[in-house]
A = this chain, B = another copy of it.
Amino acid sequence: MSKNLTKRGEDYSKWYNELVVKAELAENSGVRGCMVIKPYGYAIWEKMQAELDRMFKETGHVNAYFPLFVPRSFFEAEEKNAEGFAKECAVVTHYRLKADPNEKGKLMVDPEAKLEEELVVRPTSEAIIWNTYKNWIQSYRDLPILINQWANVVRWEMRTRLFLRTAEFLWQEGHTAHATKAEAIEEAEKMMNVYAEFAENFMCVPVIKGFKTESERFAGADETYCIEALMQDGKALQAGTSHFLGQNFSKAFDVKFASKEGTLDYVWATSWGVSTRLMGALIMTHSDDNGLVLPPKLAPIQVVIVPIYKGEEQLEAVRQKVLPLINELKKRGISVKLDDRDTQKPGFKFNEYELKGVPVRLAVGQRDLENNTFEVARRDTLTKETISGDVIIAHIEKLLVDIQENIYKKALDYRNSHITEVDSYDEFKEVLETKGGFISAHWDGTPETEAAIQEETKATIRCIPLDVKEEKGVCIFSGKPSTKRVLFAKAY
């Protein structure tokens, strides 16, 4: 397999698009803005889902499923939320097609099958869920509700990119209801922490936890917590958000509960989500000019074995040699594939597994059989060594751990070396254009300044870091006083 992959240094964006398609992760479909997630890409997503689902359940959440459609009247109920999503939503207006009398074999919308009330394909489910919670919540005994849903959602984005921004995407959305404000805030923070732990421990993507500014907040939230990652081109990527929704939705849908003290109060809410966008973050954080680099914990194939042979007899000897190894690895929960296709040469296979980011590749030739050795190549460093069959299992186990750690460390080093403190707007613009990354700068706290900086530089405030230090300063743009630095970046 010849890779013919554009180099990152030449055109990062083109490299990404090509890589997603060539590694068979996803492709554009015949439907505007919608992607097909191909089996190899979906296998990675399934691994991500499994870990996240486990983490949600360990933190007390259960799964459920709510309707795809949001009737217009529910959609309207929470004003800011409606405003935020009305501009780009798919609207179902009819429930039937009929034969087109003017063109044989063609169908047309049946004007007699018009819905009385339009249905919006969910762009997010707060409205439909809070309309349901209304019936579930009467007393403090009904709280908290800690529900998650795995679902597809649709936002009619005009400019789409595989995984990063698509009209339909897959995600999970948690929707919780609480008796007190403090408990809801604690939940929103907890889920941000779960996301950060997942990003760092499984995806090997270091993230900065923070708050969004008012203008970057989720439509309908009082506070949005986020985790922000940095891609290799110096652009930031929002990898997950967790919202403290206050009482906005309980007021919009009139959801009150009888408290222990006998008062009737509005319920407090959170929602939180991550999506197939994480696939984009995963790809862009680690991959190189040879293709994907996957963290072992999320790789569908962790070890691939490529036989080097001439003729069926030699191939069979390799098969016999590796069969016990394969069984032993599987027993230890390591996924392993023997690629004994005789339609492709080893060099082609090497390229293919490099492109697909398989963490460990073993090659076994005739000399290896004689010497009881394996040629072991690791994808992250592209290095090879010869390992004795006596220690191969332990070596592979250690290697998978090493690779997981190494690619995290590499990403962390890159990220840490791309957080630059600046104290003037000129410096800000220079760093943004030359180095990119996160820029830590004082800001006067106004949406006007935020918008003006974005207008001129395309940089946005990615977050106000959770661990930000109080520090006297002046806004780089307005010169007005500021008490803390925020993180700016250009972003996906």
A residues near B (Cβ < 8 Å) are 29-31, 34-39, 42-43, 45-46, 62-72, 74-76, 79, 82, 86-98, 105-107, 109, 118-121, 128, 131-132, 141, 147, 151-152, 154, 156, 168, 170, 343
Among B64, B69, B147, B151, the residue within 8 A (CB) of A31 is: B69
Q: In the assembled complex, which residues on chain B have CB atoms less than 8 Å from the CB atom of A128?
A: 29-31
B93 touches A94 (CB 8 A): yes
Determine how close the nearest CB of chain B comes to the CB of A123; give it in whole angstroms.
Answer: 11
Q: In the assembled complex, which residues on chain B have CB atoms less than 8 Å from the CB atom of A46?
A: 63
CA separation between A96 and B75, bound complex, in Å? 13
CA separation between A438 and B132, bound complex, in Å? 40
Nearest B residue to A99 by beta-carbon distance? B86
Among B38, B71, B93, the residue within 8 A (CB) of A93 is: B93
A67 touches B97 (CB 8 A): no
Query: Known contacts A34-B68, A43-B62, A76-B105: does B96 contact A121 (CB below 8 Å)?
Result: no
Among B31, B64, B75, the residue within 8 A (CB) of A107 is: B75
B131 touches A67 (CB 8 A): no
Among B64, B70, B82, B86, the residue within 8 A (CB) of A39 is: B64
B62 touches A42 (CB 8 A): yes
Query: Known contacts A36-B132, A39-B63, A43-B62: does B68 contact A152 (CB below 8 Å)?
Result: yes
A65 touches B36 (CB 8 A): yes
B107 touches A97 (CB 8 A): no
Q: In the assembled complex, which residues on chain B have CB atoms less than 8 Å from the CB atom of A34?
A: 67-69
CA separation between A168 and B86, bound complex, in Å? 22
Q: In the assembled complex, which residues on chain B have CB atoms less than 8 Å from the CB atom of A66?
A: 29, 36
Q: In the assembled complex, which residues on chain B have CB atoms less than 8 Å from the CB atom of A86?
A: 96-98, 107
17 additional contacts (CB under 8 A) given A31-B69, A42-B62, A91-B93:
A31-B119, A34-B68, A35-B67, A36-B65, A36-B67, A36-B132, A65-B170, A68-B152, A75-B97, A86-B96, A86-B98, A86-B107, A87-B97, A88-B96, A90-B95, A91-B96, A96-B156
Among B30, B35, B67, B89, the residue within 8 A (CB) of A168 is: B67
